[in-house]
């Protein structure tokens, strides 16, 4: 992989909007949230307004943001967001987005509020089952890191970028002795299984009545840090 991992900054907002919007737009489970005549370009433009306040600055104490960067061009190739447990918020601080003054934060929040962001609201029955599964999985854990967001634009997929982003976070989790939780859809499930995650729960649902592909599937997976016994 001819790329490196770096922290995200507010200057990455436009590139993140393009990367994240493009990555999710091509996923059936996400595409059905929007009107049939919606264009990717419009969603990306709305994301440009939302990214600073709602992605990078929101819950900044717990969240860690990392990007994969092309060594030759400096272009952003992919993005991952991790959440630290409460007693570990002083760890991995170099992946925490720098705070801003109140006036600048207000400006970003006002910009985010100006975005049109109205995904359909009639699919609650699907997400309720996923939320219930999440509660069961989390209830069996103590402290853990969570991979909340992983996105690689389609033009950069197939190069191992998503795998390297996940591995970067797992290295931090191993240093801290923390398990990692992730909820995956069909498109990314294989990445986690290849990296040693263990699947602990599935939620398999049919979304055809909402115009979906029939596979609104969510998988909860956990990665455990190696123990001394594992290394011997």
pLDDT surpassing 60 at residue 129: yes
Number of domains the chain contains: 1
Q: What is the domain-level CATH number for residue 29? A: 3.40.630.30
Q: Report helix angle 40-50 to 13-25, nearest 10.
A: 140
Question: Could you give the dihedral angle defined by the CA atoms of residues 7, 97, 218 and 36, in that order, rounded to the nearest 10 degrees?
Answer: -100
Looking at every residue in the chain, the average pLDDT score rounds to 95
Give the per-residue pLDDT at 227.
79
pLDDT over threshold 60, residue 231: no
Q: Which run of H or E residues covers position 181?
A: strand 180-184
At residue 1 the predicted structure's pLDDT band, cuts being 50, 70 and 90, is low
Confidence label for 232 from pLDDT (cuts 50, 70 and 90): very low
Residue 166, Cβ density class (10 Å: 0-12 exposed, 13-18 middle, ≥19 buried): buried
Q: What is the C-alpha separation between 32 and 139, in angstroms, rounded?
A: 31
Domain of residue 40 covers 3-231
Whole-number pLDDT of residue 230: 61
The β-bridge relationship of strands 145-151 and 180-184 is: parallel
């Amino acid at each position: 992989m001819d790329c490196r991992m770096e922290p995200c900054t507010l200057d990455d907002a436009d590139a993140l909007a393009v990367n994240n919007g493009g990555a999710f737009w091509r996923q059936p489970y996400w595409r059905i949230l929007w009107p049939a005549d919606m264009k990717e370009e419009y969603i990306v433009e709305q994301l440009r307004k939302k990214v600073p306040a709602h992605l990078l600055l929101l819950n900044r104490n717990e969240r860690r943001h990392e990007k994969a960067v092309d060594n030759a061009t400096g272009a952003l190739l992919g993005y991952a967001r991790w959440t630290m447990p409460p007693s570990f918020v002083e760890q991995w601080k170099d992946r925490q987005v720098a705070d801003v003054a109140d006036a600048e934060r207000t400006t970003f929040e006002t910009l985010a509020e100006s975005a049109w962001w109205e995904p359909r609201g009639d699919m609650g029955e699907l997400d309720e089952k996923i939320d219930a599964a999440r509660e069961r999985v989390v209830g069996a854990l103590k402290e853990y890191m969570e991979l909340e967001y992983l996105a690689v634009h389609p033009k950069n997929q197939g190069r191992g970028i998503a795998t390297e982003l996940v591995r970067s976070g797992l290295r931090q989790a191993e240093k801290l002795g923390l398990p990692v939780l992730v909820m995956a859809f069909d498109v990314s499930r294989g990445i986690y299984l290849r990296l040693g995650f263990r699947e602990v729960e599935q939620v398999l649902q049919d979304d055809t009545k909402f115009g979906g592909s029939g596979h609104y599937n969510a998988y909860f997976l956990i990665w455990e840090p190696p123990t001394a016994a594992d290394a011997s």
